[in-house]
Structure 1
Amino acid sequence: MLSVTILYYRGYFDYEGFKIMWPYPEFREKQKEVIDVVEKSIQDGKIVGLNAPTGFGKTIVVLYSIARFLKEHEDKKCLYVVRTKNEVRPVLKELFMLKSKADWINYTFLIAKKDMCLHRLRTDQELKLPSEDFIETCRDFRMKNLCPLKKIKPKPFSKISEFLEMAMEEEACPWYACKYMFDEAHFIVATYPYLFNPYIRQSVFSYDVGVLHLKDTIIVVDEAHNLESVTQSSDRGLSAKTVERSLSELEKYSYAITGILQKTCREYLHTLLNFMKKYRGAKRYLRLNTDYFYDEVVEKINLDILGEASETIKGIKVEMHGLRARSFLRSVWRFLHYFEIIYTLHYEDIGVFVLGDRIEVKILNPAIVTALLNEAYTAILMSGTLPP
């Protein structure tokens, strides 16, 4: 089924004009009509829902429509988000094809930092640690000037691997090389968390180079039928085993932490662990009172103190283990810090749950992460199975 849902429509373009920039010999059935509708909707800032079967060519139709608009509106950009790294590839392929017909088009992409780490790529290491741990290790490496952060001028590329190879040849961090291309890029292709996780979005698009203003951005969401589940990228969990390992870390690295600081952190961890033990073994999700968790645990813990100790331990581990460094105490701090922020900002829209030996914080209202679509210049929601 093919359907385009918009609030605005008027006539067709002169089809001969479509030949400019179109990267394929012919249009498939209905592609011209969809391009016309999508481009007119972009011009009027209307949100578009494009529902078309596999093989229709949704990606190139949308990219082409946006490119025509961006040619006349240099203050605008497109952020095209997909679920996984594998889904970045076909978008890059179509952008490569577009650039072959319109050399002015520039594009870049972002996937997980650990998949773009120069040190990991050089050694072909397999890193199984959580992304949050790697991001902090990456920060530590940068602070020690161990990472070559610089801008490069890549040749047009159609694959992630091609760009990674070019960055490695230039001795440049691939992730930062991509970020340094933001200012001149017309299209930024990224995975869901870069848009829908508010903390990742803020850290990537709000500081340093590559500031992205939503009001000037056309957002394209691929596989938009997954929007109801995007809140999962903002959920956080913590296991009792991680807390127990944090206690062991405090003991092992006690030589680097003052006695009072170590004692205080140990008391904090026991407060958390004793709370979790009350519900250990739950065989199905049990929702707790959010205020109860805050009052019994979070309010009793000074996160600045816990953060200081975890930073010290993480620094030692980075020196010892490099990219593989992971601090369990740091994981505990991140979970509690995240809860404190989300509790303050979105108290009515979150839930605290326990299952087995885990405690989890979940966002229950998808509007927290999807409302930003209304902040954008406009948005295009694409799917082959988009619900009405």
Structure 2
Amino acid sequence: MADKIHISVRSLVEHVYNSGSIDARFRTQSTLADGTRIHQKIQKTYRDGDQKEVFLKTEIAYDGLTFIIDGRCDGLLFHDGNVTIDEIKSITMPLDQMTGEGFPVHWAQANVYAYIYAKDHALPEISVQLTYVHIETEAKQYFNKKYTFSELELFVFNVVEGYAPYAKLQREHRNKRNESCKALAFPFETYRAGQRKLAGGVYKSIIDGKNLFAKAPTGIGKTISTLFPAVKAMGEGQLNRMFYLTAKTITRTTAEEAFSKMRSCGLHLNAVTITAKDKVCFKEETKCQKDYCEFADGYYDRINDAVLDILTNETAMTREVIESYARKYTVCPFEFSLDLAYTVDAIICDYNYIFDPRVSLKRLFEVQKKASILLVDEAHNLVDRGREMFSASLHKETFLQLKKDFKGVNKVIFEAASKLNASFISIKKIYGKNNEFILTHLDESFLEQLRQFIKDTEQCLRTDASQNLLEAYFMVNNFLKIVELLDEHYVIYGEKNKNDVIVKLFCIDPSKLLKQMGKGYSTKVYFSATLSPLPYYQDILGGEKEDYLLSIPSPFSKEQVDVFIKPLSTRFRDRERTKSPIVSIMQALTKKRPGNYLIFFPSYQYLLSVYEQFKEVNKETRTLIQTTGMSEAEREEFIAAFKPEQNETLLGFAVLGGIFSEGVDLIGDRLNGVVVVGVGLPQLCFERDLIKDHFNHQGKNGYDYAYVYPGMNKVLQAGGRLIRSETDHGTIVLVDDRFLQEQYQMLLPQEWKQFTLI
């Protein structure tokens, strides 16, 4: 029996007729909505008896495959005994600049619809019409052709022939993949304690179609424990694609290594890693324009060959592999990785590609989502990242600068920027007494000014490439998109900062929008060593009552770690007074237990203050200090200094919640102890207080949501740097009297609860 390949008409013709360049010069942001509006407007002009949005479907056998091709044609017109397929296309290019008779890809799409209809209704001939409509002027241009059925049959056969090599490759790969997934055994000799439980939890969630929130301790091998059951479910036809979502580059590498380990045990599965555009761009400036970048120029003419080549020869499509094929075919490495994401079995990428409405992989159809799983690593990071994704702000100084830039240059932009600048001044006057203030709503006149600014800017940007104007355009456009999301999960507030005034749409509770963006996926697994307390994360990440919760105890024995609590006040007002005792603790600790230590502070200022006093009395002790804005090389140098079996003590001073308190693996003797100064509470600030008040009004503990849980998460992450394997031993010192309070004691891991009071 022939294998069935299901594909939409549009995807089929776009694959075969791909051509042209990437050109990310200014594009109006409302294209999709405009396209829908224009389609509806044209369809309203159809005569009685004409049909719109007609679903058409056919099956074509070719080379051992059966292609099921379907889609909706825009219009079916019946005039004077003729049947015409109408394909409507909205375009931004002025119609008089169109060469020839329209675009081949549009003809191809209409011709496939014409073939299906003619075949179903045994028509010897049929007409095809392309209707081009200019988005702004709504001017129209029509192209008509008449075809015999045999002409269309030959045409469609050639299109299928052009797609078949890719379809065949994918079919062969999928069969091989599924067999290898079924045969794959766990890629290590034994399961670590807790690993089997986590893998079982993930597998059960997939089979039951539920979401899972899992607190899984550091060191059990969370990555392989989540990927392996997803691979097994794939072999059983439960899944077709998996996304491994991370917040940091280091965890992406861990996922790549896990796939590599499974491949060495016989797995045949292809995975792509998406790296941010700015990082992977080959050019000095990230300007996606065909006359600047040879990798953008003619991209679509070469991309099919590049995709076919890499899929034929590679399974691990890491950044390095993608870059080498991108250079070979002269294609943009970032766009190449996105195109591959729609074809591969596993995608390793940042949270943004799923959850951020501005960045997400929009070509994933609902049917594809249903067969995909989201594995969200270090899920505690998604709370603040979610708030960030769904918030937006505007600055008065943006419009003041535009006013200066366009004075005497462009009257329309000058006036639009002047009006907005004046609106910010009037907001400043109304709320003059306060540096921060709540806005109960946004005036309709202010929103209308922003919409007008978008219209005026779109006109100007077609001829003026001003960077300031382009940035302002995207900022305002994003702001207006977030305005549409405003509800009880948001607070609108203003802030005065010297001469600047900021208006922010602040997403206090990202749960609803995270849930919305993750909708449609078969299963979502949120996991982290510090997903504690689980009900808090289930609530704030958009979980539901029927989700599964799993808490796995640490596989390490309490004998592996000595925990000490020093009940000193590290509150801001007491820091000067308790600085000397902290220095004494560090001296006593390193004298009794020499080795490599990381010492974490709640702020950089606090760190510097204690560091300076420590160096005054301990000039000989070797120290390292985290600095602001460290480069990749400087970070690596900092970590590399922690060598095993050193004869001298090394103290690394770092910031709690910073780059060294998460995702850093210092196994064995490379790290002998961790000192955490303070309970990690975020700094008291207006935004955090808004979060606190919001959740208090909901009958929850707002202070815990805004301060305690995020703070203790940092403490647990920092402490988690220490014991990374069954053979590790070390010391944890927690410096703060609040660690003895019940609410903090409840959040400590079980193995930390048998502590010694200093």
Aligned residue in 2 for 1:328: 468
Structure 1 residue runs without a partner (length 5+): 1-16, 120-124, 128-133, 255-261, 318-326
- Say yes or no: does 1:246 pair with 2:402: yes
**207, 211, 224: which one pairs with 1:60?**
224
The answer to whether the 8 A contact 1:288-1:354 is kept is yes
Equivalent position amino acid for 1:329 in 2: L
The answer to whether the 8 A contact 1:307-1:330 is kept is no
* SS of residue paired to 1:56: coil
Aligned residue in 2 for 1:382: 527
Sort the Cα spacing of 1:158 and 1:346 in 2 relative to 1 into closer, same or farther, 3 A.
same
Say which is worse superposed, 266-275 or 294-303, in terms of deviation.
294-303
- Write the distance in 2 (CA, Å) between the matches of 1:77 and 1:102: 19
TM-score (normalised: structure 2): 0.40
Shift of 1:19: 8.5
* SS of residue paired to 1:98: helix
Say which is worse superposed, 362-371 or 162-171, in terms of deviation.
162-171
Sort the Cα spacing of 1:221 and 1:243 in 2 relative to 1 into closer, same or farther, 3 A.
same
Aligned residue in 2 for 1:160: 319
Shift of 1:383: 0.5
Shift of 1:46: 1.4
Counterparts of 1:125-144 in structure 2, within 5 Å, are: 125=284, 137-138=287-288
The answer to whether the 8 A contact 1:89-1:158 is kept is no
Shift of 1:308: 2.2
Aligned residue in 2 for 1:175: 334
- Say yes or no: does 1:268 pair with 2:413: no
Q: Deviations over 1:157-180 (max 9, x none)?
A: 485344434433443321122122
Counterparts of 1:60-139 in structure 2, within 5 Å, are: 60-73=224-237, 76-119=240-283, 125=284, 137-138=287-288
Task: Compare the two structures and name the one with the higher strand fraction.
Answer: 2
Aligned residue in 1 for 2:156: none
Sort the Cα spacing of 1:84 and 1:39 in 2 relative to 1 into closer, same or farther, 3 A.
same
TM-score (normalised: structure 1): 0.75
- Write the distance in 2 (CA, Å) between the matches of 1:148 and 1:74: 35
Sort the Cα spacing of 1:304 and 1:296 in 2 relative to 1 into closer, same or farther, 3 A.
closer
- Write the distance in 1 (CA, Å) between the matches of 2:433 and 2:316: 50
Sort the Cα spacing of 1:352 and 1:264 in 2 relative to 1 into closer, same or farther, 3 A.
farther
Counterparts of 1:142-291 in structure 2, within 5 Å, are: 145-146=296-297, 148-149=299-300, 150=303, 151-152=306-307, 153=310, 155-157=314-316, 159-201=318-360, 204-206=361-363, 213-229=368-384, 230-251=386-407, 254=409, 262-278=410-426, 284-291=435-442
Sort the Cα spacing of 1:284 and 1:274 in 2 relative to 1 into closer, same or farther, 3 A.
same
Q: Return the structure number with greater relative CO, CA threshold 8 A, min gap 6.
A: 1
- Say yes or no: does 1:36 pair with 2:176: no
Sort the Cα spacing of 1:222 and 1:285 in 2 relative to 1 into closer, same or farther, 3 A.
farther
Structure 2 residue runs without a partner (length 5+): 1-180, 535-758
- Write the distance in 2 (CA, Å) between the matches of 1:237 and 1:306: 19
Say which is worse superposed, 190-199 or 109-118, in terms of deviation.
109-118
Shift of 1:311: 4.3
Q: Deviations over 1:86-113 (max 9, x none)?
A: 4322212212222232442111122321
How many residues align? The count is 334
- Write the distance in 2 (CA, Å) between the matches of 1:190 and 1:72: 25
The answer to whether the 8 A contact 2:482-2:505 is kept is no
Equivalent position amino acid for 2:442 in 1: D
Share of identical aligned residues, percent?
19
- Write the distance in 2 (CA, Å) between the matches of 1:234 and 1:300: 19
**Whose radius of gyration is greater, 1 or 2?**
2
Aligned residue in 2 for 1:369: 513
Sort the Cα spacing of 1:21 and 1:181 in 2 relative to 1 into closer, same or farther, 3 A.
farther
Sort the Cα spacing of 1:20 and 1:186 in 2 relative to 1 into closer, same or farther, 3 A.
same
The answer to whether the 8 A contact 1:197-1:369 is kept is no
Please give the root-mean-square deviation of Cα atoms over the aligned residues, in Å. 3.2
